[in-house]
Amino acid sequence: MSMERPGAKTPPEFLQLAAHPLRWQLLATLADGDHRVRELAAHIAQPQNLTSYHLRLLRNAGLVSATRSSYDGRDSYYHLDLDRCAQALAESGAALHPALRRDAGQSDVPPAGRPAGSVAVLFVCTGNGSRSPMAEALLRRRTGGAVTVASAGTRPRRALHANTVRVLRELFGIDATGFQPRHIDTLVDRRFDHVITLCDRAREACPEWSAIPRRRHWSIPDPAAAEGTDDATYSAFRRTAAEVDTRVRHLLPVLAATHR
């Protein structure tokens, strides 16, 4: 009588993909932020065509996605779906033994420690009217104000986009009516532990600070670029707010580690 469970000879797809040294390096690099293929190729010291091949395998598995740069349409930024990775890891554990299911004995993974106020974060986009103020408001809300957080633009708008105010209020209960966009030059003398660009154009225009331990990029399209009335484009703002909130949620354990 065989004691082998069905499928035990074949490792789950995630383990097969992640076990390759180059793919693991790509996953680890993308876990830190969004990158273009030539940057990834340089980081893993491999030809660009080989890097693209491994990225294609990761994209086919739904672990990585690519978005066209809003600054230079010839470029694409690759993004790691951390939620999908968490799901794939949980499924891999369950395939080995039922006791390793994510929900075995607990409803969820214990939350990471809350970062303390000594951690300072700056979010940057072009207009400081949609993406970066969303990130600022959501990080402040998720940490209960326990971090020092600010946002700015390389070419700030006169005021927040009306849909930014609306989506923060309707989805998260945040009142952003008093927010005033500001230029990044007004913050160059302040110390930040993390500077995060949310806009491909701002990534190229963002100034260098004298001492920044971590700088990362989130390639998120501008919802304000959608054509139509505010009501017609509101769905784009909802999608952007949801993506920003997901990324902010994944940022929390990184900030906690920075403080430790």
Reported as a single tens digit per residue, the pLDDT across 9-39 is: 788 999 999 999 999 999 999 999 999 999 9
Residue 144 reports pLDDT greater than 70: yes
Q: In the predicted model, is pLDDT for residue 260 greater than 90?
A: no
Where along the chain do its domains lie? 13-100, 120-259
CA distance 52 to 212: 30
Asked if residues 147 and 198 have their Cβ atoms less than 8 Å apart, the reply is no
Instruction: Report CA-CA distances (Å) from 9 to 5, 6, 96, 159.
Output: 9, 8, 11, 59
Residue 103's pLDDT band (cuts 50, 70, 90): low
Mean pLDDT of 79-98: 90
CB 111 within 8 A of CB 119: no
Q: Given a cut of 70, is residue 109 above it in pLDDT?
A: no
3-state helix, strand, coil in the chain (%, to 5): 45, 15, 40
- The residue-averaged pLDDT of 196-213 equals 82
pLDDT for 210: 65
Sheet with 148-153, side-by-side order of all strands = 148-153, 120-125, 194-197, 214-217
What top-level class would CATH report for the domain 120-259? alpha beta
Query: What's the chain's average pLDDT?
Result: 88
Give the model's pLDDT for residue 1.
38
Q: Is 66 helix (H, G, I), strand (E, B) or coil?
A: strand
DSSP string, 3-64: -PPTTTTS--HHHHHHTSHHHHHHHHHHTT--EEHHHHHHHHT--HHHHHHHHHHHHHTTSE
Element (H, E) at 148: strand 148-153
Axis crossing angle, helix 230-259 with helix 131-142, rounded to the nearest 10:
50
Q: Which residues pair with 148 in a beta bridge?
A: 120
Q: What is the pTM of this model?
A: 0.80
Percent of the chain residues topping a pLDDT of 70: 88
| Most trustworthy range by pLDDT among 161-175, 207-221, 222-236 | 161-175
Query: Has residue 156 got a pLDDT over 60?
Result: yes
Q: What CATH number labels 13-100?
A: 1.10.10.10
